[in-house]
């Protein structure tokens, strides 16, 4: 199998967490005397260069025996490798939150899609925090889709998007965003920026809150669907009060394989463990099976229909440097196309159309 994460570049902190989770799981599989197989890790580092992912993916599939790749951090990188996976018969285990509206025959999604992060977060936030919302995000598919769905959710709940601003990937000049937030005075901010852009925004927003109490975390908090514990050491007090959502936060006992630093590490670890379970039960040669056949061979937490994973939802806030869970929803299947087929009872409604 292959572990392909950018351990350098603008989102190295997230990728390093994923890489650590995958390697720990490989060690666990290889140390298990009852496991009838061993994993050999083929490692590649695209260094956060989007154009490097597809060539590296093809190199792995052409030049090694690896058929399963645990990797990719962004939606750009995932979409870059899917044509290569289709052409050469590989499978990507994608262990990151993403925007949904995808179900590839060559991808297994082990972290949250929008039915597991944005929609529960907005349904929790709107009646508690208010309905005047500012949206910001990185100018690519994650930011576009998260903000699009947020607009629908807010307006259908009778709320108002006071303004929206996207930044190019990696852009750290957030002055205009801060000025607009100061002028529009929303009830909360939904931050869908990634990497260095998100860090720059959170530091500047913290400074705004120190200057004007109207933007302190208890008055106008920042919400996120993609910020996790692996990034907190690089934000320090700039993350204080931030509200995030995920299938796991450190200290919880409901992770599928034990304690982890973050949900990013957990999802990568779970990917390797679940792959080992499926291959062990299916027997020799099953590494070349189509994804759906492999998932159907031994039912587990991943749907053979959507290739998405059953996950719980936890909404948590950074308090004194660590996430404290505020609200939880029991595990339910992912619904990447918001079809309403999978709908957790605690949520009041799901959109029947995108």
CB neighbour burial string for 84-110, b if at least 16 within 10 angstroms, e if fewer: bbeeeebbbbbbbbbbbebbbebbbbb
pLDDT tens track for 193-222: 998 999 999 999 999 999 999 999 999 999
pLDDT tens track for 69-109: 999 999 999 999 999 999 999 999 999 999 999 999 999 99
5-9, 118-122, 138-142, 227-231: segment of lowest average pLDDT: 5-9
> Mind listing the domains of the chain with CATH numbers?
2-112+254-297 (3.40.50.2300), 118-225 (3.40.50.2300)
* Higher pLDDT among residues 15 and 353, named by residue: 15
Residues facing 133 on adjacent strands: 161, 188
Residue 338's Cβ-side half-sphere holds a number of Cα atoms within 13 Å equal to 20
pLDDT at 278 over 70: yes
pLDDT value of position 10:
61
User: Residue range 163-172: average pLDDT?
Assistant: 96
In this prediction, residue 5 has a pLDDT band, given cuts at 50, 70 and 90, of confident
User: Residue range 56-64: average pLDDT?
Assistant: 96
Q: Which residue has the tokens 């027997």?
A: 283
Please report the beta strands in the chain, taking only residues with DSSP state E, as ranges in sequence order: 2-4, 42-44, 68-71, 91-94, 107-109, 132-138, 160-167, 188-192, 222-224, 243-246, 311-319, 322-332
pLDDT at 24 over 90: yes
CB neighbour burial string for 151-181, b if at least 16 within 10 angstroms, e if fewer: bbbbeebebebbebbbbebeebebeebbebb
User: Residue range 139-167: average pLDDT?
Assistant: 96
User: Residue range 127-147: average pLDDT?
Assistant: 97
Q: Report which of 334, 307, 323 is spatially closest to residue 120, judged by C-alpha positions.
A: 334
pLDDT at 16 over 70: yes
pTM (two decimals): 0.93
């Amino acid at each position: 199998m292959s572990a392909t994460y950018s351990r350098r570049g603008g989102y190295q902190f997230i990728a390093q967490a994923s890489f650590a989770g995958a390697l720990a799981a490989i060690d666990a599989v290889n140390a298990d005397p009852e496991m009838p197989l061993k994993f050999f890790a083929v490692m590649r580092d695209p260094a956060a260069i989007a154009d490097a992912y597809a060539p590296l993916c093809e190199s792995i599939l052409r030049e090694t025996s690896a058929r399963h790749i645990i990797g990719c951090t962004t939606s750009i990188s995932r979409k870059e490798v899917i044509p290569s996976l289709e052409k050469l018969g590989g499978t990507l285990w994608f262990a990151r939150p993403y925007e949904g509206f995808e179900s590839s025959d060559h991808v297994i999604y082990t972290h949250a899609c929008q039915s597991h992060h944005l929609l529960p977060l907005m349904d929790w936030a709107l009646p508690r925090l208010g309905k005047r919302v500012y949206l910001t995000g990185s100018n690519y598919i994650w930011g576009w889709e998260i903000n699009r769905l947020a607009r629908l959710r807010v307006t259908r709940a009778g709320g108002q998007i006071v303004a929206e601003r996207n930044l190019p990937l990696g852009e750290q000049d957030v002055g205009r965003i801060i000025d607009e937030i100061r002028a529009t005075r929303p009830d909360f901010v939904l931050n869908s920026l990634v990497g260095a852009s998100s860090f720059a925004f959170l530091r500047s927003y913290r400074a705004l809150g120190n200057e004007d109490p109207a933007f302190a975390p208890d008055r106008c908090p920042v919400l996120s669907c993609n910020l996790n514990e692996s990034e907190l050491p690089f934000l320090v007090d700039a993350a204080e009060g931030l509200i995030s959502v995920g299938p796991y936060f450190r200290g919880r006992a409901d992770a599928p394989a034990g304690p982890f630093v973050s949900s990013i590490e957990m999802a990568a670890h779970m990917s390797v463990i679940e792959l080992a379970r499926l291959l062990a039960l299916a027997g020799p040669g099953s590494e070349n099976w189509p994804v759906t056949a492999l998932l159907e061979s031994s039912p587990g937490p991943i749907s053979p229909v959507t290739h998405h994973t059953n996950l719980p939802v936890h909404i948590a806030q950074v308090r004194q440097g660590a996430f404290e869970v505020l609200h939880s929803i029991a595990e339910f299947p992912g619904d990447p196309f918001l079809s309403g087929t999978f709908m957790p009872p605690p949520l009041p409604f799901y959109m029947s159309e995108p």
